[in-house]
Amino acid sequence: MLSGIPLFPAQASTVAPSVDRLYFLILAVTAFFAIATVIAVAIFAIVYRDDSGRKVGAAIHGSIPLELGWSIIPFIIAMGIFVYSTVVYFDLIRPPAETLEIYSTGKRWMWRFQHLDGKAEINELHVPKGRAVRVTFTSEDVLHSLYFPSFRVKADAIPGRYSSVWFQPTQTGEFHIFCAEYCGTRHSGMIGTVVVMEPDAYQAWLSGNDGQPLAVRGQQLFQQLACVSCHLDDNTGRGPSLAGIFGTSVQLADGGTATVDDSYLRESILTPHVKTVAGYQPLMPTFQGQVNEEGVMGLIEFIKSKAAVARPAPANAQANAAPVRP
């Protein structure tokens, strides 16, 4: 736990045992061949030593069985490791359908965690035991890396884009959070704590929140920025409707398509002219520098919360000169 940094942190998530098994498998294979090579060299050096210095080695013309052996056996071992590591990798990047969504922002030298109900934490994250949790995060300044050693998950926090990790805690207690990417003079102090609680205790902790839900704050910002004047739910505004758009695929003006996910919406808010929705003109202004990362996350959650509504196709959409995206 937090009393120190153990050589091998506790296996505190559902994916931790499989990650450790893969690690020790690779360690065992490499150690076996390294030790076998050293032993063979030592044996040959003793058995075939030449004290006189006059012996001449016999000519060797090769051995087909030997050459096949040292080619096929390592190939089978390598492919076995590849298959096993692929299974573990997909377990790490494919969260369950129902997850507890949390946003995070890294900046020198702290981690800020934002719960959807409005609760915010600095260098501390409360989560319930037994519930799958997905943390979506970015960086406000330089490259960071969000690392939960006891959960065996880690990903880089890159300015300008979203990354995510997921884990399902299996133990209650306190566990380390580290930045695993050197980010400046106080990098070693960019640490935090995950507090895993029993579900009832977590709900009691969460009920003490007096902040606004993230989606509500996003709705307020949506109105303050006058987004509502263009993005009408009935699809009659100058911009495309955002109702029920999250998770769908949109046709772009260049002939391509894009899936409306967190990264797409973030890009649409900050650099709307990168991808233009077919049927609309690229007139939406950029909000780069006007909206911070928490504001962008709020807008995204508000758009996610907008249910699909029956709406007509846009009439004369080209003439409407709509903004590119949300």
Domains observed in the chain: 100-206 (2.60.40.420), 214-320 (1.10.760.10)
For 257-302, write each residue's pLDDT tens digit: 999 999 999 999 998 888 889 888 888 888 888 888 889 999 999 9
CA distance 166 to 137: 11
pLDDT at 308: 63
How confident is the model over 244-258, as pLDDT tens digits?
A: 999 999 999 888 999
Q: Are strands 100-107 and 133-139 parallel, antiparallel or unpaired?
A: parallel
pTM: 0.81
| Mean confidence (pLDDT) of the chain | 88
pLDDT for residue 31? 97
CB-based contact 104:112 (threshold 8 Å) = yes
CA 58 – CA 310 distance, rounded (Å): 86
Q: What is the pLDDT of residue 149?
A: 95
What's the CA gap between 122 and 138, in Å, rounded?
Answer: 15
Report the pLDDT value the prediction gives residue 97, as an integer from 0 to 100. Answer: 87
Enumerate residues 6+ apart whose C-beta is below 8 A from 119. 206, 209, 211
Percent of the chain with pLDDT over 90: 65
Q: Give the confidence band of 162 by pLDDT, cuts at 50, 70, 90.
A: very high
Cβ-contact 191, 183 below 8 angstroms: no
Could you give the angle at which helices 64-93 and 16-47 cross, rounded to 10 degrees?
Answer: 160
Element (H, E) at 178: strand 173-179
Q: Which of 237, 314, 324 is nearest to 283 (CA)?
A: 324
231 neighbors 323 (Cβ within 8 angstroms): yes
Strand order in the sheet with 173-179: 124-128, 191-197, 173-179, 144-148, 153-157
pLDDT at 5: 61
b/e map of 17-54 (b: 16 or more CB within 10 Å)?
A: ebbeebeeeeeeeeeeeeeeeeeeeeeeeeeeeeeeee
CA distance 167 to 106: 19
Phi, psi for residue 295 in degrees, rounded to 5: -65, -40
Q: Of 214-218, 238-242, 305-309, which range is least confident?
A: 305-309
Give me the pLDDT at residue 2, please: 53
- Can you tell me the mean pLDDT for 178-191? 94
pLDDT tens-digit readout, 55-86: 777 787 888 998 999 899 999 999 999 999 99
User: What is the C-alpha separation between 259 and 274, in angstroms, rounded?
Assistant: 14
Q: What is the mean pLDDT of residues 2-19?
A: 83
Q: State the DSSP H helix or E strand holding residue 74, giving kind and residue range, or none if neither.
A: helix 64-93
Token code pair at residue 13: 């998530």
Rounded distance, CA 309 to CA 320, Å?
Answer: 21
Mean pLDDT of 22-46: 95
Per the CB < 8 A criterion, the answer to whether 95 and 131 are in contact is no
Q: Is the peptide bond before 109 cis (omega within 30 degrees of 0)?
A: yes
Q: Is 50 exceeded by the pLDDT of residue 4? A: yes
Q: How confident is the model at residue 312, as a pLDDT? A: 53
Confidence at residue 326, expressed as pLDDT on a 0 to 100 scale = 42
Q: For residues 191 and 150, is the Cβ–Cβ distance under 8 A? A: no
